[in-house]
Amino acid sequence: MLVTPDISSLKYTIDKGVKYFELAAEPVNQEILPGVFIKGWGYNGSIPGPTIKVYPGDYVNIRVYNHLPEATSIHWHGLNVPNVMDGVPDVEPSPRIEPGHFFDYHFRITNPPGTHMYHSHVNVARQDMLGLLGGFVILDPHEVTINKDYLLLMQEWSLVGLEKGKKVEPGNYNLNPFSMDFNMFTINGKSFPYTTPMPVEYDDIVRLRFGAIQINHHPMHLHGHQFCLEKSDGNPIIPSNSLLKNTVLVASGETWDVLFKANNPGIWPIHCHISHHVSNNFTDGTGGMFTTLVYE
Amino acid sequence: MLVTPDISSLKYTIDKGVKYFELAAEPVNQEILPGVFIKGWGYNGSIPGPTIKVYPGDYVNIRVYNHLPEATSIHWHGLNVPNVMDGVPDVEPSPRIEPGHFFDYHFRITNPPGTHMYHSHVNVARQDMLGLLGGFVILDPHEVTINKDYLLLMQEWSLVGLEKGKKVEPGNYNLNPFSMDFNMFTINGKSFPYTTPMPVEYDDIVRLRFGAIQINHHPMHLHGHQFCLEKSDGNPIIPSNSLLKNTVLVASGETWDVLFKANNPGIWPIHCHISHHVSNNFTDGTGGMFTTLVYE
Amino acid sequence: MLVTPDISSLKYTIDKGVKYFELAAEPVNQEILPGVFIKGWGYNGSIPGPTIKVYPGDYVNIRVYNHLPEATSIHWHGLNVPNVMDGVPDVEPSPRIEPGHFFDYHFRITNPPGTHMYHSHVNVARQDMLGLLGGFVILDPHEVTINKDYLLLMQEWSLVGLEKGKKVEPGNYNLNPFSMDFNMFTINGKSFPYTTPMPVEYDDIVRLRFGAIQINHHPMHLHGHQFCLEKSDGNPIIPSNSLLKNTVLVASGETWDVLFKANNPGIWPIHCHISHHVSNNFTDGTGGMFTTLVYE
């Protein structure tokens, strides 16, 4: 069963064969370390927003409410949807959602099983850097071989008012969406050691799904194991097993699904390998875009 | 037929079986948005320079005039040429072209059909960041299956005197080639919405050829379709169809050719997925390294 | 025979079937250009540290002395080692090595032949950016087809007190490990033209092994030849010859081994293709992460 550590899955109702989802784009105070909140924008109270899970062939209707002070939209990144549902207003014939309004995105899932993302496509340089994004996974109804399945979305942030190398004190921090000088780094909205470890059991087949959507490209490194690159951007890599690696570069806009067998007991780090991305505000110790796999 | 939107193809003459091309390295005021000019360096009046098209086995002579205030050269990036023709003065036995002089680069095309680039290899940190580069495509004389074929070269710029987040007023802007803090982003020398849309027809087989040469790595994302990675650095990827993606990371120095079938009518964005690279000077709205595919 | 230009191989002794190595983490004044020293941290007097060479199945014991003013550790990046030997203190059950102490990392080599790295995993954002890393290569005892075999480790530095675009005067420079504004770039601890050229002979089969461990991703470009991607992160790419390229993006934490036939005589550059990374402090001329292949 797919789990997005620290992030919920989006509930839905079914009516006449259509799955109905609801997302509210809104200001979110996301707690990235205990007592440390970023004043960002997210969906349904979290950054990233809740993970949407569907099956191939599903008919979906996703109602997106805009509780932001400006227009927004959602682009279903990687999905083959009709132009009007693709969520790039002014360029495509897809609407802006004005503040206080909503829009029903509705389409059929025609992609194969795989990992995708959703994010705003209005004022991207600002809205995406404030956090308007989430995971969109097409599950495989026939899958039997995967014992653990985790989705990890990486984000980088520029918190206003931090002095480099100094401890990050609890508080509510504004974000500078235009800065390229990032000081905090999260996986599913948490910085280490506040990320939730991922349990595995010996002999499990484990899938990790990585996604990035903002500015930086994150080379995700797993300790103690080699993994097979199974899919990228929601599409299978053929032949499977062609590339065995322990570090995969996840560029902005990409997803990579990797598989490995849990055959080396312990507590194993999974982290971005960029030196600064595994610290909190350049302080000593381990932080940032870092989580662990824990054998039970 | 290969088209480089917003950029011309370089004309040539044939004499005794040799194709003769001429390039002039020179200061260029490139209009990246209406009335917004960057004072860069390019070839034959444009940045990037005109696209060179040849066939496998061609004998070519490319006369490069230097109308710049300092020495320059051209490196035929990706081509297997003799050392003396490779264009890295002082390191290789390949000459510097002094101001007011020219040099005849002449070689035979021994690479297979594919996408390459040319650029200065003198004072690279400055000359390349001022714009001295262009596309070099080896066409396939036997190709029949491609209906549309587009070359897109991505560049990032640091315009002097812009205040982040403020509208870019018309004017002539100096470039800071040493800055890593880029504020404008172009495809084939234009920022959106000044990029020229690329027409396709339903059922077309479309090739996009991406290239980058400067500082940043650009993950190019296509909406509404998945594409197959056909070639990289001018070489075929075997087996073909092994990687189907919707976002391809184009690192500095790389080319990636991708193929897809036009089977989803509409107006579809193609853009770098780095949030800041799809804005003009961090302003709201869509800009920068962004263009569209338009079904006719 | 594997050569790491400008870097020594780590000697060992054998006792009862175990190979004993010794590394001392310590302050190092590394000469990156003639008379230009960086005050970094390395192993056994060099940055990167000496290259460790082993064979599959080897039992190894690597004693790591800490001559630094703070605790450290070594992570054997890419190797499948037991959790307690993996070198991530506080997260894994692997010890911190306090100043003045040592720890014996001991494990069996269970990975196949390929290229790996080692580096500190304590205060990574600072210790790795000061230089605590090296190469770890598992040699193939049955290999017969490779005539030349070179390991190249790329690093980026922020020297304190340099004015951009000005010549780098001889001296001892402090490093700012928290800066993202790098001004000097090295391969195996040297900046061009201080890098040692790599000799090849016509018809040689040449392997280049690239590795990066710090902040930037380096697209390494070879002139005059196309190379085959043989391995990544120490694992074979299957099918071999599936990707022929002339530029390979080496992300932080990745290794890439490439193969080519020396069939084009001359002096050929191999360099990072990021424009600023082939200059010394943004000055004119060629510098930085640049070396050459020289036909003899």
Note whether C248 and C258 are within 8 A (CB): yes
Count of A-C CB contacts under 8 Å: 115
pLDDT at B282 over 90: yes
CA pair distance B58, B53, nearest whole angstrom: 10
pLDDT at A238: 83
CA pair distance A251, C217, nearest whole angstrom: 11
Sign of the CA dihedral running A77, A81, A85, A91? positive
pLDDT at A239: 78
pLDDT at C263: 98
CATH architecture of B151-295: Sandwich (2.60)
CA distance B237 to chain C (A): 5
Cβ neighbours of A125 in B, within 8 Å: 275-276, 278-279, 282-284
pLDDT at B239: 78
- Residue C164: partners with Cβ closer than 8 Å, 6 or more residues away: B178, C183, C281, C282
Mutate which of C74, C88, C218, C257 to test chain A, going by most A C-beta atoms within 10 A? Answer: C88
A234: amino acid identity, one letter = G
User: Please, what is the average pLDDT of chain A?
Assistant: 97
CA pair distance A83, A70, nearest whole angstrom: 23
The reply to whether residue C88 touches residue A286, judged by beta carbons under 8 angstroms, is yes
Note whether C184 and C159 are within 8 A (CB): yes
The 3-class SS string of B247-266 reads EEEECCCCEEEEEEECCCCC
Confidence band of B242 (pLDDT split at 50, 70, 90): confident
Q: What is the ipTM of this complex?
A: 0.96
Q: What angle do CA B42, B47, B49 make, to 5 degrees?
A: 70
pLDDT at C242: 73
CB atoms within 10 A of CB B215: 21
C259: amino acid identity, one letter = L
How much is the average pLDDT of A244-269?
98
Nearest neighbour of C286 by CB, restricted to B90, B215, B254: B90
**How far lies B151's CA from each of A92, B114, B240, B245, B264, in Å?**
22, 11, 20, 18, 21
Nearest neighbour of B235 by CB, restricted to C226, C285, C292: C226
Give the DSSP letter of residue C159.
Answer: B
Q: Which two tokens stand for residue A53?
A: 């899970």
The reply to whether residue B164 touches residue A178, judged by beta carbons under 8 angstroms, is yes
How much is the average pLDDT of B22-45?
98
The reply to whether residue C276 touches residue B180, judged by beta carbons under 8 angstroms, is yes
Class of domain A2-144: mainly beta
- The low-confidence residues of chain C, meaning pLDDT below 50, are none
Q: Which two tokens stand for residue A22?
A: 């609801």
pLDDT at B186: 98
The reply to whether residue B213 touches residue C273, judged by beta carbons under 8 angstroms, is yes
Q: What angle do CA A271, A276, A282 make, to 5 degrees?
A: 120
Q: Which residue on chain B is closest to C290 by alpha carbon?
A: B91
Is B151-295 the same fold as B2-144?
yes
Element (H, E) at A127: helix A124-127
B/e letters for C243-276, b = 16+ CB within 10 Å, e = fewer, are bbbbbbbbbbbbbbbbbbbbebebbbbbbbbbbb
The reply to whether residue C267 touches residue B81, judged by beta carbons under 8 angstroms, is no
A241: amino acid identity, one letter = N
pLDDT at A241 over 80: no
Cβ neighbours of C245 in B, within 8 Å: 232-233, 235, 254
pLDDT in tens, B181-238: 899 999 999 999 999 999 999 999 999 999 999 999 999 999 999 999 999 999 999 8
β partners of residue B3: B150
Q: Which residue on chain B is closest to C165 by alpha carbon?
A: B178
CA pair distance C162, C167, nearest whole angstrom: 9
Considering only A159-173, B282-296, C239-253, C277-291, which range has the smallest mean pLDDT? Answer: C239-253
pLDDT in tens, C50-89: 999 999 999 999 999 999 999 999 999 999 999 999 999 9
pLDDT at C27: 98
Mutate which of B90, B116, B157, B178 to test chain C, going by most C C-beta atoms within 10 A? Answer: B178
Q: Give the chains touching A; criterion: ≥3 Cβ pairs < 8 Å.
A: B, C
CB atoms within 10 A of CB B16: 5
β partners of residue A148: A206
pLDDT in tens, A192-240: 999 999 999 999 999 999 999 999 999 999 999 999 999 999 999 987 7
pLDDT at B269 over 80: yes
Nearest neighbour of B181 by CB, restricted to A90, A180, A237: A180
pLDDT in tens, A96-113: 999 999 999 999 999 999
- Residue C155: partners with Cβ closer than 8 Å, 6 or more residues away: C47, C48, C131, C133, C185, C186, C189, C212, C213, C214
Mutate which of A84, A88, A119 to test chain B, going by most B C-beta atoms within 10 A? Answer: A88
Element (H, E) at B126: helix B124-127
pLDDT in tens, C118-157: 999 999 999 999 999 999 999 999 998 899 999 999 999 9
The reply to whether residue B235 touches residue C245, judged by beta carbons under 8 angstroms, is yes
The domains of chain A are located at: 2-144, 151-295
Nearest neighbour of A92 by CB, restricted to B239, B247, B266: B266
C278: amino acid identity, one letter = V
Q: Which residue on chain A is closest to C79 by alpha carbon?
A: A224
CA pair distance A126, A119, nearest whole angstrom: 12
CA pair distance C147, B34, nearest whole angstrom: 56
